[in-house]
Structure 1
Amino acid sequence: MKVRLARGEIEKLVAALKRAGTREIGGQLFGEQLAPSDFLVTNLTIQARPGTFARFFVDLIQAARDAIRFFDQTEHRYTRYNYIGEWHSHPSFAVQPSGTDIETMRTLVRDGEFKGSFAVLMIVRLDVETVASGAWVFDPRGRESAITLEMDVERQ
């Protein structure tokens, strides 16, 4: 699986990481399926309320509003435009998922209300002006793996 971030979304991400400083921040990843197992993030949401030095907490109300807005903008064409996953920062730690991060993603994809076939977790950190990142995919059947994440991609 490959996930790409459009250049505009990277610029938005860098600005948010700079504002957050040492506090963890996060949001959701929405986008377009370009081909089987190939996705372009066209909407990276940024939760208004940041986390702490060592933890990010999802605001479920904002997450729901952001999802509704995205699906309305894409006219509910779910086979082409959909939820891709979650992201958050590790400004003071490695861009590797913690045990809590892994359990949160497992719980998400195994929830009976989850409609997707997978969810991506992207973890980022700003190193001066460069975004360090990593991404992993989780599915309801228990498969988990690191995936290819491409940054600075032109909108197609």
Structure 2
Amino acid sequence: MQQDKQLENLSLLGGKTEYKDNYAPEVLEAFTNKHPENDYWVAFNCPEFTSLCPITGQPDFATIHINYIPEINMVESKSLKLYLFSFRNHGAFHEDCMNIIMKDLIKLMDPRYIEVIGVFTPRGGISIYPYANYGRLGTQYEQMAKTRLWDRNPQQEYTR
């Protein structure tokens, strides 16, 4: 009975998949963390992200890494897949995409900590690796976010 109650808000699992044509934050769904007393990482690797350059309309391709420490809510993975797919026809710069994704996930889950990293393939001879992170204000996770931001070396991390 407890399991049924937890899953009642998840509408995408087991049904026919509808892919949105453009940016669709409304497809994101959350479920309740069964271990809110623990600090632990949840990591997603999304190697098929695409969006459009807002100026030229040309496609951009990336692997998106989403890492977070949950509190009460967690993002459901199929809804995350459909959400990321919704960027396919969305025109936004790489840095904007990472910040939009992070803010939408913060709004959905209110995690203790989250980081969103884009590893975009080269276009015009340049690769871009935007990084956005957030730690809950007034907690140890706020300091963690600052430390992780300043201690990062994305060239070293993602070009191995």
Q: TM-score, normalised by structure 2?
A: 0.32
Q: TM-score, normalised by structure 1?
A: 0.33
Q: Which has the higher helix share?
A: 2
Q: Which has the higher contact order (CA 8 A, sep 6+)?
A: 1
